[in-house]
Structure 1
Amino acid sequence: MADQQALLDPKADSSAERQTRILNAAERCFVRSGFHRTTMQDVAAEAGMSPGNLYRYFGSKDAVVLALAERDRARIGEDFAVLSQPGDLLPSLRSIAHKHFAEEPRERAVLCLEIWAEATRNRSFATMSEAFDRDICERMCALFRQAQANGAIAPEVDLEALASLIVTIANGLFVRRAVDATLDAERGVASLMAVIEAAFAGKINLTRT
């Protein structure tokens, strides 16, 4: 459907490309200079367009960040689509963890840390971050319920507690990777997976109360 619309309306595709260019430029600016030091003029220059043209797509830096969060949410949705496919869950989880914590550039972790820092002062950012984490936890719980029904997760494990544990460790890995350029990401992924495997087996106290 989207391809057909682009063929019928070339401007639609051009607009999407410009928005992507702006978001990519904003990511680079926020990582390089921080959220507060970056201006909309900086983003416009990085994207190779005039400030007036930029404001046609995004009315503020907050709007840019919200769009970045929605883009990340869509990427996470693609990951969960992979995880929901039939097969052993643990190898799929390991592959996706490796993708996010070892393969993707460290700058993505820096951007996450920048947004989380702003969330401590900006209520709209805090609400966005809370909604993002809640969405991931809900997706994981749905995935884990199916895995538990299939016997891949011990029956006594509290799935909400398991999802919360994984999100907490994953966020910690993002912070570590952002602040420590020498972090051994491979070791971090291995440690995360060791915890997940132990939790799946019921070896961590995540029992229902």
Structure 2
Amino acid sequence: MARVSPEHLEARRRQIRQGAARCFARNGFHGTSMQDVFKETGLSSGAVYRYFPSKEAIIADLAGGVLDTVRGAFDDALSSPRVPFPDEILADALERVESVLGFPPPLVVQVWAEAFRDEKLAEVLRDLLGSLIGAWSRVVVAYQEKGMMSRDVEPEAVGRVLAACAQGFILQRALLGHLDFDVVRAGLRGLMSISPSHPPPPSHP
């Protein structure tokens, strides 16, 4: 029997992930069956089950792909001589996820909604969110160590807010259509420009 290369195995996993992602985005997690995944990918049940025994396994793999991609963005940021500002890190991470994984934006919304009825799925997403908040918290600590941010700021609190910015932007893309990642950069940069030394102009009657 011919030996299958690691490249072929990864290509097949990617084919299944992307096909399932299209199904989940179109019909929701609950409304998608494994039969739908077989049909979408053009693969037999045996071929799909060889890699993924269930829909939950596919979602866990999708979440793992997101985490690995985002972790790479944060690792690069933390290893840089100049730790990038939040607007740079967030936009870079979102761009990497889109270019590497190519998930349709509605998929994320569908999966979040389904987590309220599926505890296994909720656990996967909680782990993913916890990892993202942890990554942001490490960035905040780096800012504090470099004197860029006050040390009395709670790193996890900042991490949760920045993670929420990413979630909100993804939701807007799903509902409103394409939004350029430069919107994230410009928006966060604008918020960071607020300074007590620049009071608002006096109002006119």
Q: Distance in 1 between matches of 2:27 and 2:77?
A: 35
What CA distance in whole angstroms lies between the structure 1 residues aligned with 2:21 and 2:62?
8
Aligned length: 193
User: Is contact 1:101–1:173 with CA below 8 Å preserved after alignment?
Assistant: no
- Structure holding more helix per residue: 1
- CA shift at 1:22, angstroms? 0.7
Residue 122 (str. 1) matches residue 88 (str. 2): no
Alpha-carbon distance change, 103 to 145 in structure 1, aligned in 2, over 3 angstroms = closer
1:134 aligns with 2:130: yes
Q: Secondary structure at the match of 2:148?
A: coil
Compute the displacement of 1:92 (Å): 7.2
1:182 and 1:53, CA in 2 relative to 1: closer, same or farther beyond 3 A?
A: closer
Question: Retained in 2: the 8 A contact 1:29–1:46?
Answer: yes
2:49 alignment partner, one of 52, 55, 79 = 55
Q: 1:39 to 1:94 in 2, by over 3 A?
A: same
Q: Please name the residue that 2:13 is paired with.
A: 19
- The residue correspondences of 1:156-175 to structure 2 (distance < 5 A) are 156-175=152-171
Question: CA shift at 1:177, angstroms?
Answer: 1.5
| Displacement of 1:51 | 1.8
Q: State percent identity of aligned pairs.
A: 26
Counterpart selection for 1:68 from 50, 57, 62: 62
Worse overlay, 62-71 or 152-161? 152-161
TM-score by length of 1: 0.78
Q: Unaligned 5+ residue runs, structure 2?
A: 198-205
Structure-1 separation of matches of 2:51 and 2:97: 30
- Shift of residue 18 of structure 1? 1.1
Q: Residues 182 and 78 of structure 1: is their aligned pair in 2 closer, same or farther, counting only changes over 3 Å?
A: closer
List runs of 5+ in structure 1 lacking aligned partners: 1-8, 204-209
Moved more, 63-72 or 14-23: 14-23
Alignment of 1:75-154 (within 5 A): 75-91=69-85, 93-94=87-88, 96-97=90-91, 100=94, 104=98, 107-154=103-150
Partner residue, 1:186: 182
Higher relative contact order (CA 8 A, sep 6+): 2
